[in-house]
A and B are shown apart, each in its own frame.
Chain A
């Protein structure tokens, strides 16, 4: 900021031509200590992006609002129809909405809480404690991130069937209780965010290992843990592949599979199908409106550490 405020003439007088030219160039390019000032083109591009982001949602709502189920949608579907609430109501009943929402909330919350807890524990251990085999074990964790979900699907399906969890929400929850990514993520974060001196101090004061973890590591891990929570939560909420495979005839137990099941049973009635999609998407979109600010600033906070 300061160098931009000084006049070019003054710079030329005291700093010579080089400094003056640099300052002039900097001013021309709009560089300040806060970053470049964007022109209207940037805003125009962003506006288009946001319209594109919102459009599919709007289109879903507008089809869901059409009165005539046999409507040959076209441009008419871009105008909201009169039957939104009637259609939503019908889909609400057919989806078994509260049941599906409850299942989704249970799965997402449980998986997110446990992933955060176990990842913080493991991350703290990898980042700050000394133990034999630490390096190879950490490498192993990172390597497992490359294994695609598809590879384990067949035997996992057989295993779950064998222990009579086929069709149960537990079959969805158990494989997602902790992720390699979470462990890696917390290790990375705690390495930088937690000074050794704090741990030493707690130990010298006589705290047990678990107490040290709880009172020193957990508070330090909070920003990264919040991020991990949100991402795990969204990933589980929008997960479809595995629940579809393992829920069997219990497809109405979570929102994603419930919407798909509705579609399979009513494949011609798109006002109803779209109502179902709108209903299943709605809770998370709503949550995003309230939590999005934290989510975004969380991603940015992760950056500083990066």
Chain B
């Protein structure tokens, strides 16, 4: 996932600069050349982003849609419309061919299930832990910076490196976890060979890296809550838990939405951790217990060595399917989070109406 620091309130649109004539006049205070300067500069300043986005974002986006409809191998290049083939009893070339082919693959569905399972196992505990940790760090601790730095330390370990390390920590035979389990008389867990256990292990790697990061993001937002709100709650007789549920959580709403959405987008695209967790050449392990959609995409498009592959067209189809899934889940998440975070006190509506009034 890309770095995404402190959670600014995405839901609020920024107000436009003042339209008053005085401001305009002052911006224009230099005659003809100044006028040109004022008119063109804003576009000039935003152009690097848009130019780069055009080349590395928008064009590839459209291009992917095109490739997804084609029979496109790395060796032969574009070879016409996609053909689904025997799988769906059709040898007719059609733009849907790759999508049909992918949707007929048991591996795709397996990968989708695995991605969801790992995503749920990582996101939910991660955000709960981050909230609790942030609440602890929000208190008036001694050596604040030390604790905060300690919590953030895993963030500087690359996910791929963490994947290799945890692959050993969770090694089936001689990993430290299994040795300890064995030592206290418990059955060792088959961390790589069992589906659920491998998901737990991979989720642990994700949680290792992102919990501290999310903690600090949430903590930053928590610290922005005015202290007198808490004091008022205390005077009204609210205990700590009540304060947390009725004051902290609703006040964190925008940040919470941001954290949940970014972990959703990142979580469903997980690649580094499962790839590094595996010890064998097969992506997702010999039984594909931890094959995720991103791993599957990579395998289809870039990794296969058998004849006729890698097939970039099919990989592009997987990319589009993944995109649709991510967007749907992100929207669902947004709606749910908004509900949860606004149940108590409903500050949302008030805020919105206040803003409307301001706008008038």
Contact = CB atoms under 8 A, between A and B. Distances in A.
A36 interface: yes
B164 A152 contact: no
Interface in B1-48: 2-10, 13-19, 22-24, 26-30, 34, 37-39, 41-43, 45-46, 48
A179 B2 contact: yes
B46 A306 contact: no
Given A228-B5, A240-B158, A300-B223, A121 B168 contact: no
A147 B61 contact: yes
B123 to A, nearest CB: 16
A259 interface: yes
B335 interface: no
B155 interface: yes
A235 B169 CA distance: 25
A300 B322 CA distance: 34
Given A37-B139, A46-B136, A122-B48, A234 B240 contact: no
B30 A206 contact: yes
Interface string B139-150: 111000101111
A256 B156 contact: no
A149 to B, nearest CB: 7
Contact of A53 (B166, B212, B235): B212
Interface string A125-149: 1111111001101110110101111
A31 interface: yes
Interface string B167-183: 01101011110011001
Nearest to A28: B234
Nearest to B9: A306
Contact of B3 (A33, A146, A231): A231
A73 B174 contact: yes
A222 to B, nearest CB: 15
A159 B41 contact: no
A60 B165 contact: yes
B16 A213 contact: no
A119 B180 CA distance: 49
B327 to A, nearest CB: 7
Interface string B62-73: 011001000000
Contacts of B263: none
B153 interface: yes
Given A128-B17, A260-B276, A281 B27 contact: no
Contacts of B39: 131
B220 interface: yes
A178 interface: yes
B57 interface: yes
A150 B46 contact: no
A74 B235 contact: no
Interface stretch (A6-14, A80-88, A90-98, A287-295): A287-295
A154 B315 contact: yes
B56 A156 contact: yes
Contacts of A285: 153, 156-157
Contacts of A256: 158, 160-161
Given A26-B231, A148-B322, A36 B139 contact: yes
A254 to B, nearest CB: 10
A50 B161 contact: no
A174 to B, nearest CB: 7
Contact of B16 (A37, A121, A134): A134
Q: Binding site of B, secondary structure by majority: helix, strand, loop or mixed?
A: helix
B227 interface: yes
A32 B140 contact: yes
Q: Contact size class for B? A: 35 or more
A193 interface: no
B150 A50 contact: yes
Nearest to B180: A75
Contacts of A36: 139-140, 240
Contacts of B24: 130
B118 interface: no
A228 B347 CA distance: 30
A37 B156 CA distance: 30
A273 interface: yes
B237 interface: yes
Given A150-B294, A154-B316, A209-B41, A274 B176 contact: no
B160 A125 contact: no
Nearest to A273: B164
A74 B179 contact: yes
A238 interface: yes
A143 to B, nearest CB: 11
A146 B26 contact: no
Nearest to B56: A175
A131 B43 contact: yes
Contact of A151 (B59, B64, B212, B221): B64
B153 A53 contact: yes
B301 interface: yes
Contact of A296 (B30, B152, B162, B179): B152
Contacts of A38: 136, 139-141
A186 to B, nearest CB: 10
A174 B276 CA distance: 26
Contacts of B265: 146, 148
B63 to A, nearest CB: 4
Nearest to A243: B160
B155 A26 contact: no
Contact of A152 (B15, B64, B148): B64
Given A125-B46, A239-B158, 19 more contacts: A31-B230, A33-B227, A37-B140, A38-B139, A50-B151, A122-B45, A127-B14, A128-B17, A144-B57, A154-B301, A154-B312, A159-B63, A177-B48, A178-B49, A200-B22, A259-B164, A274-B168, A281-B156, A285-B153
30 contacts: A25-B234, A32-B140, A43-B141, A46-B150, A46-B151, A49-B212, A50-B151, A59-B176, A73-B168, A75-B183, A125-B43, A127-B14, A142-B10, A150-B319, A154-B315, A178-B52, A180-B53, A185-B8, A187-B14, A203-B30, A209-B37, A213-B45, A227-B5, A228-B5, A259-B160, A274-B168, A280-B158, A296-B149, A299-B220, A303-B6
